[in-house]
Amino acid sequence: MTTSNQFSKPASANIPSDDFLDCPTGLVEYYFDEGVFHWSDGLYRMYGFERGDVVPSMDMVLPHIEPEDRPRVQAYWDHVSSVGGPSSIYVSIRDQKNNQHKMLFSADHILDGDNAVGVWGVVVDLTTSIHSDRHQLATEAVAASARNRAVIEQAKGILMGRTGVTADQAYELISQLSQDTNRKVYAVAQDIVDRATVRAGDPENQSHPLL
């Protein structure tokens, strides 16, 4: 009798690891009766330390926070400590090597029955994610700009070929039509290219260069 593996890999196993961004995560707990912060190893590393290098405290953390964020962070901590959450805040810090990190801090009360005995929080370092998003947006913008420029140049060439105008004059025609119709220059240029392509074999539709 032959046997086969009855268990298959989950669908997530087929997703390339490159699709996931490295967003380090850390944990913090603070008990009111102790007055001591307990950090996970991941949180130490966000600040550029290893466990034992420093003693976590608000006084230790504040100098790492960007000056403009310090009042908000202190107010946020006071609020969560007294009122609870869940509540979140974005904050920028500098690690011990002066590298900036963009953090999301979410916190809530630690409860013993109905009594709040402390605060626990999750810290996510969004720096890599933000940089990746910005890089993707910049890449897409550059690509779109190149495509738009190619269409505009093509439209200018059509007008120059049909009317004998110069490149500058062709662009002025497109720009003027853009203003008259309240449409983007790229959209007008694309329309010229589309019409020229579709109707190239129809002489009746070539009487006006913008048709």
| Pair 86, 56: CB distance under 8 Å | no
Q: Is the pLDDT of residue 2 over 60?
A: no
Cβ burial 10-46 (10 Å sphere, 16+ → b, else e): eeeeeeeeeeeeeebebebebeeeeeebebbeebbbb
How far is residue 126's CA from residue 145's CA, in Å, rounded to a whole number?
28
Least confident among 21-25, 97-101, 167-171: 21-25
Residue 123: burial class (beta carbons within 10 Å; 0-12, 13-18, 19+): buried
| Pair 60, 54: CB distance under 8 Å | yes
Q: Is the pLDDT of residue 14 over 80?
A: no
The token pair that represents 67 in the structure block: 């000056």
Residue that is written with structure tokens 């102790």 in the block: 34
At 79 the pLDDT is 92
pTM of the model: 0.51
Total Cβ atoms within 10 A of residue 151: 20
- Residue by residue, what is the 3-state secondary structure of the chain? CCCCCCCCCCHHHHCCHHHCCCCCEEEEEEECCCCEEEECHHHHHHCCCCCCCCCCCHHHHHHHECHHHHHHHHHHHHHHHHHCCCEEEEEEEECCCCCEEEEEEEEEEEEECCEEEEEEEEEEECHHHHHHHHHHHHHHHHHHHHHHHHHHHHHHHHHHHHHCCCHHHHHHHHHHHHHHHCCCHHHHHHHHHHHHHHCCCCHHHHCCCCC
Query: What percent of the chain lies above the pLDDT cut of 90?
Result: 15
Those residues whose C-beta lies under 8 Å from the C-beta of residue 185, and which sit 6 or more positions away, are: 152, 174, 175, 178
Q: What is the CATH number of domain 137-206?
A: 1.10.10.10
Class of domain 22-125: alpha beta
Q: Where in the chain is the domain with CATH 3.30.450.20?
A: 22-125
- Mean pLDDT across the stretch 139-163? 75
At 207 the pLDDT is 47
- Mean pLDDT across the stretch 86-102? 87
Average pLDDT, the chain: 77
Q: Is the pLDDT of residue 56 over 50?
A: yes
pLDDT in tens, 168-186: 888 888 888 888 888 888 8
Q: Where in the chain is the domain with CATH 1.10.10.10?
A: 137-206
At 112 the pLDDT is 86
At 49 the pLDDT is 92
Query: What percent of the chain lies above the pLDDT cut of 70?
Result: 74
| Pair 156, 192: CB distance under 8 Å | no
Question: Which amino acid belongs to residue 104?
Answer: L
